[in-house]
Amino acid sequence: SVTQLPGPSFHCRANEQTSRRPWPAHWTGHLVVDVSRQVSKSCGDLIFSSHTTFILTGILAYNEYGSLLVVKSASWTLGVVLSILIIASRKHYTVDVVIAWYTVPLVFFSMYRRWTTRRPMSDFIGSTTSPAF
């Protein structure tokens, strides 16, 4: 399951008028997504930050496969700056960003190690545990 917190923005507070969406006038209003409202007035916040997840995945991928040290250094610096800006813009709580900063590298390197290591089949034949491909 996913842990959901109330949104960090001011308009997400329960006593604010903007925290409640008006009921749609027509049934199609339940099906049509108002993208402009989602961008500016969204109030759902899930742990952990998907914004930070995408940033870190790009940084980690370049660090693994890229070759320019300047770009690697700049990407980590920008990743930190963007994380601070995500918190400052009240798109996510600090806990969302911090959890993403240690979860994403763990998953990235686990998947990288698990799915990119080539081992001969003889390592699996006769082993007592069954391999998970």
pLDDT digits (tens, 9 = 90+) for 68-106: 999 999 999 999 999 999 888 877 888 889 999 999 999
pLDDT at residue 11, rounded to an integer: 63
Active-site pick, 11, 30, 34, 96: 96
Which position among 11, 34, 45, 92 bears the catalytic label? 92
Q: Which of 43-52, 60-69, 73-82 has the lowest mean pLDDT?
A: 43-52
Residues with Cβ within 8 Å of residue 100, at least 6 apart in sequence: 48, 49, 52, 53, 56
Q: Considering 11, 30, 34, 51, which one is annotated as catalytic?
A: 51
Q: For residue 113, what pLDDT is reported?
A: 76
**Whether 96 is catalytic:** yes
> Domain map of the chain by residue range?
4-23+35-116
Q: Structure tokens of 84?
A: 């601070």
